[in-house]
């Protein structure tokens, strides 16, 4: 069996782009030519999994990444891995178990997804932010010296940030009537929202490095190519509907209550999500924070306008 790069959650938005980009990069040759890409998914029969299975060097494997063991990693000759854990109360337990297994199995390098730097702190209010802090702290301990790693810190995911805008436009096109445009964005603060495609492409370029040592223990801020404020989002919406938006609510957090209603996590934990946008509203997450390594290896391309257009076409 060839040396293997594992992509956990390969059919997710970010994981899918990691697999696709890795396939292209490895097919071009170089030191990692001949490596196998193991795309992990809970179902190999879905359309995305089927699409990935047709890519050069990719093997789709039905395997929930949270059940991966050190023995499984050894048996599959895994040398590098990508992981993007889900923001839920079990996040630290699940991802740390995967990382411990990787360490024990002799995996050489892991790329993981974190969150925006101002939120990665031990006293962060959002529960998932403390999990990311704990995981990065764990990886930085002497016990983990044998596992090289890079943590990617996106400011905010563009599709989530623009979802209410896309819904508003679609509703207007279908009914000719406006509802209330509710935005998590503040009116004026610039935020460099980033599309999962750009995150996945950058992660793949890291995983394809001949020697990832220069990126070991790095925490890279991954942003989109442009800043956008709440007022600018409103203008984008108006361009699509051809008229002025009549009613806008900035800093809307009612969606958190909706999530809390169906989440299996305790309501108090889910409600802590209401604090996550505070760094965005304070202007701490603009393009000025983008790490230079991101621009050098795989500069982001998806602008807010392009992401919104893509969402409207889906």
pLDDT at 43: 87
Question: What would the 3-class secondary structure string for the chain be?
Answer: CCCEEEECCCCCHHHHHHHHHHHHHHHCCCCCCCCEEEEEECCCCCHHHHHHHCCCCEEEEECCHHHCCHHHHHHCCEEEEEECCCCCCCHHHHHHHHHHHHHHHCCCEEEEECCCHHHCCCCCCCHHHHHHHHHHHHHCCHHHCCCEEEEEEECCEHHHHHHHHHHHHHHHHHHCCCCCEECCCCCCCCECCECHHHHHHHHHHHHCCCCCHHHCCEEEEECCCCCECHHHHHHHHHHHHCCCCCCEECCCCHHHHHHHHHCCCCHHHHHHHHHCCHHHHCCCCCHHHCCHHHHHHHCCCCCHHHHHHHHHHC
pLDDT at 140: 97
pLDDT at 1: 74
Question: What residue ranges of the chain have pLDDT lower than 50?
Answer: none
pLDDT at 33: 83
pLDDT at 157: 96
- Model pLDDT for residues 276-307, shown as the tens digit of each residue: 999 999 999 999 999 999 999 999 999 999 99
């Amino acid at each position: 069996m060839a040396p293997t790069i594992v992509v956990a959650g390969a059919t997710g938005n970010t994981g899918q782009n990691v697999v696709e980009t890795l396939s292209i990069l490895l097919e071009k040759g170089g030191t990692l030519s001949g490596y196998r890409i193991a795309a992990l998914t809970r179902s190999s029969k879905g359309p995305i999994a089927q699409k990935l299975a047709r890519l050069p060097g990719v093997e789709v494997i039905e395997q929930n990444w949270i059940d991966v063991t050190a023995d499984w990693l050894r048996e599959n000759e895994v040398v590098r891995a990508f992981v993007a854990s889900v923001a839920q109360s079990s996040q630290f337990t699940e991802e740390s178990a995967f990382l411990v297994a990787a360490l024990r199995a002799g995996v050489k390098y892991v790329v993981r997804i974190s969150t925006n730097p101002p939120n990665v702190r031990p006293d962060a209010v959002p529960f998932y932010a403390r999990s990311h802090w704990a995981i990065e702290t764990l990886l930085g301990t002497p016990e983990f010296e044998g596992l090289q790693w890079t943590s990617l810190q996106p400011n905010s995911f563009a599709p989530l940030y623009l979802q209410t805008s896309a819904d508003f436009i679609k509703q207007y096109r279908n009914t000719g009537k406006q509802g209330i445009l509710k935005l998590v964005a503040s009116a004026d603060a610039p935020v460099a929202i980033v599309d999962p495609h750009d995150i996945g492409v950058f992660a793949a370029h890291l995983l394809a490095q001949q020697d990832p040592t220069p990126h070991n223990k790095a925490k890279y801020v991954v942003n989109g190519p442009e800043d956008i404020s709440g007022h600018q989002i409103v203008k984008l919406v108006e361009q699509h509907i051809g008229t002025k938006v009549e009613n806008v609510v900035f800093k809307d957090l009612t969606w958190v209550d909706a999530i809390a209603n169906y989440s299996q996590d305790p309501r108090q934990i889910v409600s802590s999500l209401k604090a996550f946008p505070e760094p965005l509203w304070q202007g701490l997450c603009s393009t000025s924070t983008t790490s230079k390594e991101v621009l050098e290896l795989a500069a982001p391309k998806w602008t807010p306008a392009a992401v919104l257009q893509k969402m409207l076409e889906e």
